[in-house]
Structure 1
Amino acid sequence: MQPKSGHRILPKWTKSAIAAIAILSLTLATSGCSTGTVQATKDTEATKVAAKQTPTESLVLRVGFISSESKVPIGPEGWALEKNWLVPELKEFGISEVKFVPFVGGPPLNEAIAGNRLDLGMYGDTPALAGRSAGLKTVIINQNRVGNDAYLITKKNGAKTVEELKGEKVGVTKGTYLHRYLLGRLEKAGIAKDVKLVQVSTADSKAALERGDIAAYPFTIAIGLELIAQGYPAIDQAKNHKELVGSGVTVITEDFLKKNPRFAEKWEKIRLKALEDIKANPDAFYKFASRVSGYSEEVIKQAYPIELFTKEAFPTEGLQLLNSTKQFLADQKLLKTNFEIKEWQSPSS
């Protein structure tokens, strides 16, 4: 798609930054395990959509987020768009459109940022940390969720406990917060070296369980609840291990923030305004979330409780979790370089 009149092409990322992301992906895909074939159809489609969006200075704000179904984020940011607040609030930056681009996982979202196809990314802390460590020029502007939960689901008539996964193949989408949860849980059970992790996309996970190709797989709460209703056993839940839950973060490219130094502060004000409206109108929010995601309202209420969304850009609990996740990844040698969170944070945070 050709740039609209008045759009200015932003400079491309250096080859070294893109190479760093490629090295990171390889590291995550081979860390302590063998890998299977990856089906990344949705990621590929999302990347193509992002690629068609010519980089601009401000007029079209390109925001990547994680979703297997929804076309907008389920949270205050998506609600602000639904209420027609988002674009008008951003007009002072010359923004006339906000383009949300869904990705199934964090690593391809990182690649889109590296390729200068996104201005903002909303995703899990694990891929965001890994991307930054690999040289991705991002600034973290908030933790929009703290306490991302997960289920560890097994095949039917399979393992009854995490310890019983010893010697088995377990699937996971590597580079995600679910990957970090799984690694942490296996380590806690003392069987991390005795489980073979296999790269399996979320889209292929149920079929892999049904065939018996894998013994277990970590799922988000929404997908997990649907599988549990279908008779698949859940043998563990992240929320029972406080240090293993995830957080959602928003990052912005250094280049975009340099051109719009007040943007991070404005984005956070919009998010908090939308969150207050969600709290005042929870039923309307859950109807919206159900409609855009395809999940029932009951599932949405369990997967996206309102208390999951943070009232501060960086709550104390969230920063502690972010730092512990970074340390865990460093200990697992999944960070290319180490860095301080405070150095990554936006000056206005």
Structure 2
Amino acid sequence: MSTYALERGFLNRLLASVTTVALLFTLTSCTSQQSQSNNSAVASSNTKANPAEAKTRVLRVGFISSESKLPIGPEGWALKKGTLTPALKSLGITEVKFFPFVGGPSLNEALVSDQLDMGLYGDTPALVGRAAGLPTRLINQTRVGQNAWLVTKKNGPRSVAQLKGTKIGVAKGTYPHRYLMGLLDNKGLTKNVNVVQISSADAKAALERGDIAAYPFAMGTGPMLVAQGFPVIDQAKDHQGLVGTGVSVVTENLLSRYPQLPQKWNQIRQQALQDIKASPEEFYQFAAQASGSVPLVIVKESYPLDLYPTEPFTPQGLKLLNSTKQFLADQKLLKSDFDIKDWQISNP
């Protein structure tokens, strides 16, 4: 069976799983141990108070991270500076809790099972989830132009062409996965490599053992490994249309109770971004600490300030989002088709 067929089969099973979960309101049995830990943490936070009170007063937000306690961007900055929660009190929200997830598929599962109200994650898993029937609405694009670094094992391939006949790892359903798929397609290598599922947390060890020849790493980890001497043979930023975007989605259930949330959230985010641009060094200190004491040079390479758009949606961002959706549709990796405009909150 070809690599393309294997990948398509994997994501089709993922989509079917998400749809089943949506119908049954239960988590799928294939959730990773990390995902279960994340979901347990969310559930635990909701049982500390009256369940009804938790649902109406606590805003539960998931984001993607392997190390960070807060999202690296205006949202995390606003919470750290103490401006996020007070600005939401007029809506009846008295607390905001952020929960880290290692990947988009597990965050989708938490949204489906009503363990999260919002998600901040990559465009690829958000699109896959929406196409599978996940009841979310798009309220902004958090990042536009997310880079990915294709890192190889030491003394391994020195070019993309040399990946022919090798095994490449990837966290499937993530924006680096979309980048890798697009790169292999552009180079005519889709059927000539073996792409296997490996979590980002296990990827470095897999490279060191020689289990895989390459792996596309996301922001933070990619530059860190390059600094440690791992070769990088390609980057998403060098290919038009292959950089990722980040999105914020809200469940339709929450939106029905807080219809003003998207507008208020984006106002808070815009003010936080203005503060960040006025104090960039302070922001990078925060980002380094939140990332687990990552060196400043790595943080600055991973999170350039121009990564964060000042408006909820920009022409460039929407073009990239539509391009990613079209690619996934062309590869038959979306359960159904939909119009981005119908997913967006108008005038958020």
Structure 1 and Structure 2 fold alike (TM over 0.5): yes
Residue 260 of structure 1: aligned partner = 258
Contact 2:21 2:113 in 1 (8 A): no
> Aligned to 2:121, what secondary structure does the other structure show?
strand
Matched, 1:100 2:105: no
Matched, 1:46 2:48: no
Q: 1:18 to 1:66 in 2, by over 3 A?
A: farther
Contact 1:21 1:110 in 2 (8 A): no
Residue 161 of structure 2: aligned partner = 163
- Where does structure 1 differ by over 6 angstroms across 4 or more consecutive aligned residues? 19-23
CA distance in 2 between counterparts of 1:75 and 1:153 reads 25
CA distance in 1 between counterparts of 2:193 and 2:20 reads 36
For structure 2, the 5+ residue unaligned runs are 1-17
Q: 1:329 to 1:22 in 2, by over 3 A?
A: farther
Residue 141 of structure 1: aligned partner = 139
Q: Deviations over 1:209-264 (max 9, x none)?
A: 11111110000132112211222110000000020000000000001111111110
Residue 249 of structure 1: aligned partner = 247
Amino acid of the residue matched to residue 51 of structure 1? A
Q: Map 1:139-288; keep pairs closer than 5 Å.
A: 139-288=137-286
Contact 2:21 2:109 in 1 (8 A): no
Q: Deviations over 1:141-160 (max 9, x none)?
A: 00010000010000111111
Residue 333 of structure 1: aligned partner = 332
- CA shift for structure 1 position 44: 2.7
Contact 2:25 2:112 in 1 (8 A): no
> Aligned to 1:244, what secondary structure does the other structure show?
coil
Q: Deviations over 1:171-203 (max 9, x none)?
A: 000000010000000111110111111100111
> Aligned to 1:242, what secondary structure does the other structure show?
coil
Is 267-276 or 185-194 further displaced after alignment?
185-194
CA distance in 2 between counterparts of 1:192 and 1:99 reads 41
Residue 319 of structure 2: aligned partner = 320
Q: Deviations over 1:304-336 (max 9, x none)?
A: 011100111010000000000000001111100
> Aligned to 1:100, what secondary structure does the other structure show?
strand
CA distance in 2 between counterparts of 1:52 and 1:310 reads 34
CA distance in 1 between counterparts of 2:228 and 2:33 reads 25
Contact 1:18 1:115 in 2 (8 A): no
- CA shift for structure 1 position 45: 1.5
- CA shift for structure 1 position 57: 3.5
Residue 91 of structure 1: aligned partner = 89
Contact 1:58 1:93 in 2 (8 A): no
Aligned pair count reads 324
- CA shift for structure 1 position 19: 6.3
CA distance in 1 between counterparts of 2:207 and 2:19 reads 41
> Aligned to 1:183, what secondary structure does the other structure show?
helix
Residue 344 of structure 2: aligned partner = 345
CA distance in 1 between counterparts of 2:126 and 2:320 reads 14
- CA shift for structure 1 position 20: 10
Residue 34 of structure 1: aligned partner = none
Contact 2:167 2:214 in 1 (8 A): yes
Q: 1:271 to 1:343 in 2, by over 3 A?
A: same
Identity fraction in percent: 56
Q: Root-mean-square deviation (CA), in Å?
A: 2.0
Contact 2:148 2:216 in 1 (8 A): yes
Amino acid of the residue matched to residue 236 of structure 1? D
Contact 1:18 1:111 in 2 (8 A): no
> Aligned to 2:241, what secondary structure does the other structure show?
helix
Amino acid of the residue matched to residue 199 of structure 1? Q
CA distance in 1 between counterparts of 2:340 and 2:177 reads 21
For structure 1, the 5+ residue unaligned runs are 1-12, 27-37
CA distance in 2 between counterparts of 1:22 and 1:61 reads 20
- CA shift for structure 1 position 166: 1.0
CA distance in 2 between counterparts of 1:323 and 1:286 reads 31
- CA shift for structure 1 position 15: 5.8
